[in-house]
Structure 1
């Protein structure tokens, strides 16, 4: 196996729906990114601290205000505050806690659009 040694960008996918997770993972993996997965905000924060992703996709419709809480905590942490976030949401208006310049994609997710946006936000 010949692996090119290039730093591939890392994406953290936070969603409690396994179908969405595996779908996004496939989209990003095929594009050559390294992906990590978390099924809730608490796990997401831990993964973010460990892996220092270049981008986070965040589901808002997780139990326990998962998305909003995660976002607020992420931004409070100096080492993580600069990581770009794409919110992926099935329903409703933009949560007030989410910064205006954070893009919100609605489900079902368009793979091309998601990928283009991810690359743009990571400067990849």
Structure 2
């Protein structure tokens, strides 16, 4: 029987970033899911139950802040660790202080190290 892979949901409206993060995570042995916006992100999170979510804050439609607030209101999603990977400046006030924020452009080592730390909590 194979071991269940850790599942990471990537929420970003930029297909190049999604592809880049997918490559980084899959090369490191993670299973990946993706969503192009916050609405799709909530749907994927509810149906696929990821172990961790990477979240872009600056997206059209339901952006990262609205996704995060909605996610924290859902009992079965509220405990999923989130890592913000975004080009936006200061930390949005809605984010819990424990949520790490990685500024774009990103380096794979920083992303993987941050994800490992969050999954270990």
In 2, Cα distance between equivalents of 1:123 and 1:97: 23
Alignment TM-score, normalising by the size of structure 1? 0.93
Equivalent of residue 44 in structure 1, options 41, 46, 49: 41
Aligned residues between the structures: 121
Structure 1: runs of 5 or more not aligned: none
In 2, Cα distance between equivalents of 1:64 and 1:79: 23
Q: Deviations over 1:64-100 (max 9, x none)?
A: 3510000000000000100000011102211111111
In 2, Cα distance between equivalents of 1:99 and 1:8: 27
Alignment TM-score, normalising by the size of structure 2? 0.96
In 1, Cα distance between equivalents of 2:97 and 2:88: 17
Equivalent of residue 13 in structure 2, options 7, 12, 16: 16
Query: Matched residue of 1:57: which SS?
Result: strand
How far apart are residue 7 of structure 1 and its match?
A: 0.9
